[in-house]
């Protein structure tokens, strides 16, 4: 009998702890009440200006913070809609990744200047660009919100990235081709072969740039992945950057300028 009383008392005590914790969570603000609609509504209220706009908003379900940069060219308007380029930075898991989306003056801005695009540069939040569902949700949701709220030419949307950001370009081009008209991957190393060893065809054109002396992603390995993707039927323009290595993305500006010309003349026009 005492044993039964002991069990009942302990069960009641456990329930009090659970209820108390629930109340503490509510009072401490840990209840996940933020919805995707809240994110959409907040974005619609943001005020953007020409030039650099650095923004932080709370992601859905109160579980994440979305940091991103939007750069709007002078003269963009509903009468002068601009291309949209989504830019995925490298070093996605690096200790200093929290600010890497703001380093746009080295490669993205000078390399894409001829397009006069709107640039959307999300922050990785310390995770690989496609390692968790929340990353995909962030990239795709922000892309859609920029399309809906800024003067974007919906027929001219592309994605570009450097290093593991370039790997992200391959991923989003492969799995979300409806979102982009082309992908530009720099210094990347992405295996397009499925677990059953069947190479995957990517349905949108790719422009791939790789340094001849890349220390992180050897040229030979990237070349083998590209060959497999070409074999599957992917439309790839592959350019080897002579003498360039991995850890100086600024030196790739001339090659990105060429990629922008390809995008304008061969994909969009």
pLDDT tens digits, one per residue of 214-269:
999 999 999 999 999 999 999 999 999 999 999 999 999 999 999 999 999 999 99
10 Å Cβ neighbour count for 108? Answer: 25
The widest CA-to-CA distance across the chain, in whole angstroms, is 86
Cut 0.85: pTM above it: yes
- Using CA atoms, how far residue 196 sits from 57, 67, 200, 229, in Å, is 40, 37, 11, 15
The pLDDT score that the predictor gives to residue 13 is 39
pLDDT tens digits, one per residue of 167-176:
999 999 999 9
pLDDT tens digits, one per residue of 5-39:
333 334 343 343 333 444 444 444 445 578 999 99
């Amino acid at each position: 009998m005492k044993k039964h009383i002991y069990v009942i008392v302990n069960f009641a005590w456990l329930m009090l702890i659970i209820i108390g914790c629930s109340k503490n969570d509510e009072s401490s603000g840990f209840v996940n009440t933020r919805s995707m609609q809240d994110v959409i509504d907040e974005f619609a209220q943001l005020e953007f200006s020409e030039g650099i706009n650095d923004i932080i908003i709370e992601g859905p379900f109160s579980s994440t913070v979305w940091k991103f940069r939007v750069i709007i060219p002078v003269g963009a308007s509903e009468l002068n809609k601009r291309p949209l380029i989504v830019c995925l930075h490298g070093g996605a898991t690096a200790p200093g990744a929290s600010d890497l989306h703001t380093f746009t003056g080295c490669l993205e801005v000078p390399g894409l200047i001829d397009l006069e695009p709107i640039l959307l540069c999300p922050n990785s939040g310390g995770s690989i660009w496609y390692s968790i569902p929340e990353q995909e949700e962030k990239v795709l949701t922000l892309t859609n919100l920029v399309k809906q709220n800024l003067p974007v030419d919906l027929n001219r949307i592309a994605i570009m990235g450097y290093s593991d950001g370039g790997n992200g370009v391959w991923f989003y081009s492969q799995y979300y081709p409806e979102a982009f008209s082309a992908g530009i991957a720099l210094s990347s190393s992405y295996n397009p072969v499925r677990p059953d060893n069947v190479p995957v065809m990517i349905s949108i054109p790719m422009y791939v740039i790789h340094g001849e002396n890349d220390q992180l992603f050897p040229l030979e390995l990237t070349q083998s992945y590209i060959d497999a993707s070409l074999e599957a039927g992917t439309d790839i323009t592959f350019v080897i950057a002579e003498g360039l290595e991995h850890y100086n993305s600024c030196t790739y500006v001339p090659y990105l300028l060429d990629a922008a010309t390809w995008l304008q003349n061969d994909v969009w026009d």
